[in-house]
Structure 1
Amino acid sequence: MSGTGIADIVEPPPYAAVLANVAAALAEDLGRGDVTAALLPDGDDVAYLLCKQEAVIAGRPWFDACHRALDPDVHIDWRVHEGDHVRADTVLATLAGRSRALVSAERSALNFLQTLSGTATVTAAFVDAVRGTRTKILDTRKTLPGLRLAQKYAVRVGGGVNHRIGLYDAVMLKENHIRAFGSVTAAIRAARAAQPALPLIVEVETLAQLEEALREGCERILVDDFDADTRQEAVRIANGRIPLEVSGSVDLGRVRAIAEDGVDCISIGALTKHVQAIDLSMKLGPVPAQYGG
């Protein structure tokens, strides 16, 4: 366990956004009320949160907010920091509060924590794969509906960098936009005239389009689905004048070789789209001796 305390460095989304995510999750799960939890005596109890596999932990604000929404007096004692790498069978936290509230909040709280930890874990694997190169790992807009800010936060916890948040905070000229304008040059000039204050990212499909984008100027050029030879030639032509980004079907097996070609960024939709949830469980009772209780 690394003990990085990355929460001190990576700011979560505004708390109002966290609460909105949690309210939606609890509303769809609880509906008119947890009819099974209502069978339990409403006394106090304790619980522990177990991570069953190696992972990078992300999502504590959402986990906490789920429990506090149902029991404002719940006590949650975290044993790990946000961004920590943990081994399998690590107790992440202990909880003390009302038994009904603990079990009613359990599923929603775990859904957030296992999903965001999954995003952070896979991001960290890609970041590790390109370590020592100049390349940054970026996310995309291919996020789970309603969880964009949460997942992009988890990418940062995993050591990645956020691409644009949505369609409003950067202009990104892609194949369809360039086709509509007739050329890269025309598209760039129209974008600069309409949104001069926003970052401009331009996707190119050929080296000739790359030359156009370099000549007209932008903040980043996306060389999408270039083969290795063309990608290396693009790096030579750009010569550091404008950062180059690679996207399209990048997996862990290929990412190091792409980075070593000298590109500045690699954007990977799988960080947030192909999420494999981390295996977590929450059990009522004290921590068993086998887990250090």
Structure 2
Amino acid sequence: MAQALAARREWDADGLPLGIAVNLPSRALLDRRYVGITREALERYPCPAETLVLEILESEWLEESPQAESGLLALKALGVQLAEDDLGSGYSTLSRLRHLSFDRVKIDQTLVRQIARQPLRTLRFVNQLTRLGHDLGVKVVVEGMETPGLVEAAMILGADLGQGYALSRPMPRAEVADWCRSFRWACDPMVPRTALGALADFILRDERLRMFMDDPAMVERIVHTPCRVRSYLDVIGIEGTRLDQILRVLHQAALQHGPASLDYAAARDAFVQCLVEERIRVEESG
């Protein structure tokens, strides 16, 4: 804690008012000495308390514990933020999120590790967990971001923060300031440049179509709204290819038969399969 806050004070003096996160074991919620240590560190290395995030690591034995909730509230009373680590790695984490007042949740990297093998299921899971976090009023961090495609997809799906090698590898404390000043990420969520980004937008668009499947006027409006998947095809220059043709068939099926039809379902599955086989596996597998 002292090392982290001392480093943050150095960066702040260098014109970089950064936030910083420190891992705590789950037992910290049951041991009030951690509250005292945190208070002392904040007094010794003054900084806005909300810039310190304490990440609580998973432990099943804290489930439904009144003592854990009391400990969490004692830490939050210091003004710091609390994050639940490893969301989605087990029932216990979802249970804790329900009854403990975290400020952030971190989607476990094991959920995205096999993105090249199951991209659709993986992104749908990230989408639902992101919505769950936002519905509970907490920020969502996606771990395991190791490719530009995953970063772009997470942005399109609404994740607030990301962590992984595609953004940065671990570095010595002395190198952080220079990295912050030089880091750039060229990404426009409205114009995907990766196949995973296009798939993320496709998931959101498909959800909207199914939401309004009984409203032909709304379906027509959604289909004719500028499509980010179409923008992706234009960016990579594959107009007229099989993928482009299937997308056109998909739009026609939505208009003529509706999003609940077998024709639409078949075209949707064909588009996803083609996108995965021709673009995603190539990009994500290098």
Q: TM-score, structure 2 length as denominator?
A: 0.35
> RCO greater where, 1 or 2, for CA within 8 Å and sep 6 or more?
1
Q: TM-score, structure 1 length as denominator?
A: 0.34
Higher fraction of helix: 2
Higher fraction of strand: 1
